[in-house]
Structure 1
Amino acid sequence: MGNNFEDRLAVRELVENWAVWRDAGDWERFATVWHPEGWMSATWFHGPAAEFIAASKAGFERGVSILHFLGGHTADIEGDRAVAQTKMTISQRAAVDGVEVDVVCTGRFYDFCARHEGRWKIVRRQPIYEKDRLDPVDPAAELVLDQELLNRFPVGYRHLGYVQTKAGFTVRTGLPGLTGEAVERLYDEGAKWLV
C-alpha cells in the first residue's frame, strides 16, 4: 500500500506528469495519468479523459497554444483516495481581433485521485480559477475588448474565457473561483471523496 510519504510523492509526481506530458504533446504517456473513469473539467471542455486527450491532441496539431506552470502543492490522503491541490498558471497565446495576445490565469488544480492497480491516477480534475489578465504580445498594439462578452465570464477567468471564445471554443460559465458557491461545493465534494 505504501506509506503516506511515498503516496504524497507519487501524487505530486502524477500532477507534474500531467502538465509536462500534456504540454509536450506526449499523448501516450499523458493517457497514463488518468484513471479508467477519468473526467476533465475546464473552461472549454467537460467530459471523459479519453475525449479530453483527443481534443487536446487535435488542438495541439492545429497550433492551439495552452501551457501550464505548477507551483505549491498539498494532498489530503485517506487510504486509496486523495484530493490534491496544486497552484497553477494556465497560459494561452492566441489572436484576438487580429492582435496576438497572451492570457494568463492563475488558480489551482483540484484533483480527485485514487489508487488503481497499485498506482495513483486522476479520477477527476476541476481547476479553480482565481484571477487572470490579458496582454498584447506587442506592447504597442491596440486592443479594444467587447465589454459585454468580457462580463459574461466570472472574474477569475474572464479574460481566458474571452480569448477562448474569440478562438472558437464554447466556454463554460459558473466554474469555481477563489470564493463563492461553486468552490464551496467543490470543497464539499472533495471532503466526501475522502470519507
Structure 2
Amino acid sequence: MDDTDDIVEIAQLIQKWGLYRDQGRWDDLKATFTPDGTIFVTWFLGWFADFVEASKKMHVPKSPRVKHLIGLPVVDVQGHRAVAETNVQILGRFSAAGTDVDYTSYARFVDRLVRTKAGWRIHARVAIYEKDRLDPVVPSDAFANFMTQTDFSKVPEPYRYLGYRLLSAGRPLQSGIICDGTPEADTLIQKAHRWMSQMTCAD
C-alpha cells in the first residue's frame, strides 16, 4: 500500500506544531495532538493540554524568542498508527554576564501518531537530546569569563546549556530526560514501533 499521502500529512502536521508553538497560536497548537496526548521534554512531562497552558505563560509576543527549526521526519505507517522521528533545533536567547547569548539545542522528536476522523494527530511525543552549544551574540571578555567560571557540570552534556538556561530561569528539569545513544533512547524507539503494530495501546 502506498503511504505517501499519509507521510506528507504527518510531515505537515509536525511542521505545524513548530510554527504554532513559536507563534503562540494556541488553539491551532492544541489541534496537532489528540485530546489525551502527552509530551515529554526537558521542562515538562504530562498532558499536552497542560503543556499548551504552561507554554502560554512563558510566551514572548515578539522576537527574539524561542524558535523550533523542524526537520523532515522519517515516518513509518501501519494502518491507523504511525511513528515519526524528526530532527529539531531549539534556538533561544538570554542574558548572561551582562551580554546576550544564544543557545542551540539539537534533539529528535519521537512521535506516536494516530489517524482520527479529523486526520493524523500526535498521540505522544518524547524528545531525545543530542548536544547543544552556547554562543555570544557579540563576543566579549565577559562572555569568555562566564564560560570559564560557570560550573555547568550539574546538567548532562546532551542538554547542558539548555538545561542551565531553564534552571537559571527558575524552571526545574524533569527527571529521566532521554539522551541520544543511551539504552533508554533505544527502548523508547522500540516500544513506539511495538505500539504501532498493536491493535491496542499497552504502553
TM-score, normalized by the shorter chain, greater than 0.5: yes
The amino acid across from 1:30 in the alignment is: L
Q: Does 1:99 align with 2:73?
A: no
* d(CA) in 1 for partners of 2:36, 2:141: 45
Q: Structure 2 matches for 1:91-170, cutoff 5 A?
A: 91-140=91-140, 142-143=142-143, 144-145=146-147, 146-147=150-151, 150-170=152-172
Name structure 1 gaps, 5 residues minimum. Answer: none
* d(CA) in 1 for partners of 2:50, 2:97: 29
Q: Quick check: 2:107–2:128 contact (8 Å CA) kept in 1?
A: yes
Residues 149-187 of structure 1: CA deviation (Å, up to 9, x unaligned): x22222211111011111111112442222012201211
Q: Partner of 1:179: helix, strand, or coil?
A: coil
* d(CA) in 2 for partners of 1:173, 1:92: 22
* d(CA) in 1 for partners of 2:89, 2:58: 19
Q: Does 1:81 align with 2:81?
A: yes
Aligned to 2:52: 53
* d(CA) in 1 for partners of 2:97, 2:172: 17
* d(CA) in 1 for partners of 2:53, 2:141: 34
Q: Quick check: 2:89–2:107 contact (8 Å CA) kept in 1?
A: yes
Shift of 1:108: 1.1
Q: Partner of 1:184: helix, strand, or coil?
A: helix
Q: How many residues align?
A: 192
Q: Find the structure with the greater CA-based Rg.
A: 2
* d(CA) in 2 for partners of 1:117, 1:141: 57
TM-score between both structures, scaled by the size of structure 1: 0.90
Name structure 2 gaps, 5 residues minimum. Answer: 198-203
The amino acid across from 1:90 in the alignment is: I
Shift of 1:55: 0.9
Q: Partner of 1:88: helix, strand, or coil?
A: strand
* d(CA) in 1 for partners of 2:181, 2:108: 12
Aligned to 1:30: 29
C-alpha RMSD of the superposition:
1.9
Percent identity over the alignment is 32
Moved more, 99-108 or 55-64: 55-64
Q: Partner of 2:101: helix, strand, or coil?
A: strand
* d(CA) in 1 for partners of 2:99, 2:175: 25
Q: Quick check: 1:95–1:167 contact (8 Å CA) kept in 2?
A: no
* d(CA) in 2 for partners of 1:69, 1:38: 22
Q: Quick check: 2:94–2:102 contact (8 Å CA) kept in 1?
A: yes
Q: Structure 2 matches for 1:61-80, cutoff 5 A?
A: 61=60, 65-80=65-80
The amino acid across from 2:87 in the alignment is: K
The amino acid across from 1:48 in the alignment is: W
Shift of 1:120: 0.5
Q: Partner of 2:55: helix, strand, or coil?
A: helix
Aligned to 2:200: none
TM-score between both structures, scaled by the size of structure 2: 0.87
